[in-house]
């Protein structure tokens, strides 16, 4: 197949594009900067540009859409433009181009209202109750994608929600954790005992590829992808810090205080945005202090997918990359 992968300059998008090249697909990538994926053809531009998107889709059979505005803060309009508007542009152009399979890469946050999620399934994306502009706009984008009527000869659409993807070179989770730990700005909320799922990057790539393979049979459905190995927040932070050669966090902050502080920081960032991510937001405090792990039985059965890299092996690979310890 000829597959267009958007957002391939990121950790996960690049992993997906490389995997599809390895599997013999003709891969194109669409993003603002070079993807660095050997064997793929880069198309420079934004998913919000109809002309660029149309050119990228010429002759394509399938789309894996990962490009998104990802941040804990920022102008709401920017999230809407890229995450909702860009998805709409891509969906419309894909249908016009005769694309037969479309994988919308979403997020479990689209169905998270701030309370614990314990052994649940995907749930319905809910923009009205999503926490923060990223989750809100990703929820709206997922609904746009899954609302497409396949018809007799139309495009098969499936949404996948990789949960807390990490691996060597990850700037969204791993390197933020390491940076904050080095600066003494990484607390445990309450006792760090909230149980959460994560997903090693190689497993995320094979899960997305499985969704692409299975799209005609699972049209209109959403699936959460995880390693299926819930660990406490404290255990995960310790594992990342040790692998990165950084001292793990030892100080604690009450979760309620962190949520209140996150609200104040968000308000301050709206008035005078910082050059970096805010140190705390309400969403981040909720993610670090509430359980969120998922029942993977339907995901694995429907997509015929099983993660190959366990968390302990993932930490060993992380330690090999950063020069730390896996134990």
State the Cα–Cα distance between residues 64 and 25, nearest whole angstrom: 13
Q: Provide the b/e sequence for 281-294 (b: ≥16 CB within 10 Å).
A: bbbbbbbbbbbbbb
Please pick, among 134, 200, 223, 322, the residue that the annotation labels catalytic. 134
Nearest to 314 by CA among 200, 165, 170: 200
In order of 189, 250, 264, the CA distances from 258 in angstroms are 7, 16, 10
Beta bridge mates, 43: 30
Burial of 65 (0-12, 13-18, 19+ CB in 10 A): buried
- Name residues whose C-beta falls within 8 Å of residue 152's C-beta, 6 or more positions apart in sequence: none
Q: Is 223 a catalytic residue?
A: no
Burial class, 87, CB count within 10 angstroms (exposed 0-12 / middle 13-18 / buried 19+) = buried
Count other C-beta atoms under 10 Å from residue 11's C-beta: 22
**Would you name the residues annotated as active-site residues?**
134
């Amino acid at each position: 197949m000829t597959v267009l992968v958007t957002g391939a300059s990121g950790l996960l998008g690049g992993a997906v594009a490389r995997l599809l090249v390895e599997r013999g697909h003709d891969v194109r990538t669409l993003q603002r900067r070079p993807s660095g994926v050997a064997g793929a053809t880069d198309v420079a531009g934004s998913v919000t540009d109809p002309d660029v998107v149309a050119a990228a889709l010429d002759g394509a059979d399938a789309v894996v859409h990962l490009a998104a505005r990802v941040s804990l803060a920022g102008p709401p309009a920017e999230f809407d433009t890229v995450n909702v508007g860009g998805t709409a542009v891509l969906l419309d152009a894909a249908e016009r181009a005769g694309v037969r399979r479309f994988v919308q890469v979403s997020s479990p946050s689209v169905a998270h209202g701030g309370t614990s999620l314990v052994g649940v399934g995907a749930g319905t994306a809910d923009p009205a109750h999503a926490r923060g502009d990223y989750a809100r706009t990703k929820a709206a984008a997922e609904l746009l994608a899954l609302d497409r009527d396949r018809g007799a000869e139309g495009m098969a659409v499936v949404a996948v929600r990789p949960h807390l993807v990490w691996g060597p070179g990850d700037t969204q989770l791993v390197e933020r954790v390491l940076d904050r730990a080095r600066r003494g700005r990484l607390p445990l909320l309450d006792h760090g005992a909230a149980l959460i799922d994560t997903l090693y990057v190689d497993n995320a790539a094979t899960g997305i590829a499985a969704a692409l393979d299975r799209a005609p049979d699972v049209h209109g459905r959403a699936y959460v992808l995880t390693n299926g190995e819930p660990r406490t927040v404290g255990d995960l932070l310790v594992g990342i810090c040790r692998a990165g050669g950084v001292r793990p966090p030892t100080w604690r902050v009450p979760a309620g205080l962190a949520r209140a502080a996150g609200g104040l920081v968000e308000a301050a960032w709206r008035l005078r945005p910082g050059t970096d991510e805010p140190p705390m937001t309400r969403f981040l405090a909720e993610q670090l202090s509430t359980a969120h792990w998922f029942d993977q039985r339907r995901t694995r059965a429907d997509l015929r997918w099983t993660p190959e890299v366990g968390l302990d092996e993932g930490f060993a690979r992380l330690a090999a990359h950063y020069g730390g310890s896996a134990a």
